[in-house]
């Protein structure tokens, strides 16, 4: 998350020549009537596709029911703050997380093109306790929740 300056500008600095892609997934508005507040949770494991031991990696899309995982995220939550980790057996182009029932966005939540275990924190809109996931190559996925946004 990066605070925006005048006209929504952000500064970027790199030490070597690089290609840069910036995806804008949302923004924080000033407090107002009808806004959402952030609520912290004790970090809690929502899913680990490596369990039970010997489970095969998944590929494609699947939905995660965060609400029923016993992590104290209430059903009226409108977005979850999660840490997603991929454990790919080979290079993985990307992982995308989004609101279940919505169209899959054309952005990545994280990239692991080197095949390394990779994690990233994300704020994901939620639909009745569900979020959707997609990976184009097989991978294991670990998702931990640490907070939520609700009225």
Q: What CATH number has the domain bearing residue 72?
A: 2.60.120
24 pLDDT tier (thresholds 50, 70, 90): confident
CA torsion angle for 49, 92, 24, 42 (degrees, to 10)? 30
**Residues found in the chain:** 151
In-domain check, residue 111: yes
In-domain check, residue 47: yes
pLDDT, average across residues 100-108: 95
Closest residue by Cα to residue 123 from 86, 87, 73: 73
Instruction: Say whether pLDDT at 80 is over 80.
Output: yes
DSSP letter, residue 104: P
In-domain check, residue 144: yes
Contact 101, 131 (CB under 8 A): no
In-domain check, residue 25: no
Closest residue by Cα to residue 87 from 119, 43, 130: 119
In-domain check, residue 104: yes
Closest residue by Cα to residue 100 from 64, 135, 132, 62: 132
Domain extent at residue 62:
32-150
29 pLDDT tier (thresholds 50, 70, 90): confident
Instruction: Say whether pLDDT at 46 is over 90.
Output: yes
In-domain check, residue 27: no
Instruction: Say whether pLDDT at 1 is over 90.
Output: no
Q: Which two tokens stand for residue 99?
A: 């609101």
141 pLDDT tier (thresholds 50, 70, 90): very high
In-domain check, residue 7: no
Phi and psi at residue 109, to the nearest 5°: -85, -35
In-domain check, residue 37: yes
Overall domain count for the chain: 1
């Amino acid at each position: 998350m990066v605070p925006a300056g005048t006209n929504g500008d952000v500064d970027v600095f790199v030490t070597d020549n690089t290609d840069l892609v910036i995806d804008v997934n949302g923004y924080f508005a000033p407090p107002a009537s009808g806004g959402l507040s952030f609520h912290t949770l004790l970090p809690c494991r929502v899913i680990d596709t490596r369990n039970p031991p010997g489970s095969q990696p998944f590929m494609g899309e699947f939905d995660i029911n965060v609400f029923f995982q016993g992590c104290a995220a209430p059903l009226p939550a409108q977005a979850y703050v999660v840490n997603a980790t991929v454990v790919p057996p080979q290079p993985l182009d990307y992982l995308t997380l989004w609101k279940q029932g919505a169209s899959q966005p054309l952005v990545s939540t994280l990239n692991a093109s080197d095949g390394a275990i990779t994690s990233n924190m994300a704020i994901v809109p939620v639909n009745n306790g569900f979020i959707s996931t997609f990976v184009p190559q097989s991978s294991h996925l670990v998702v931990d929740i640490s907070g939520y946004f609700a009225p």
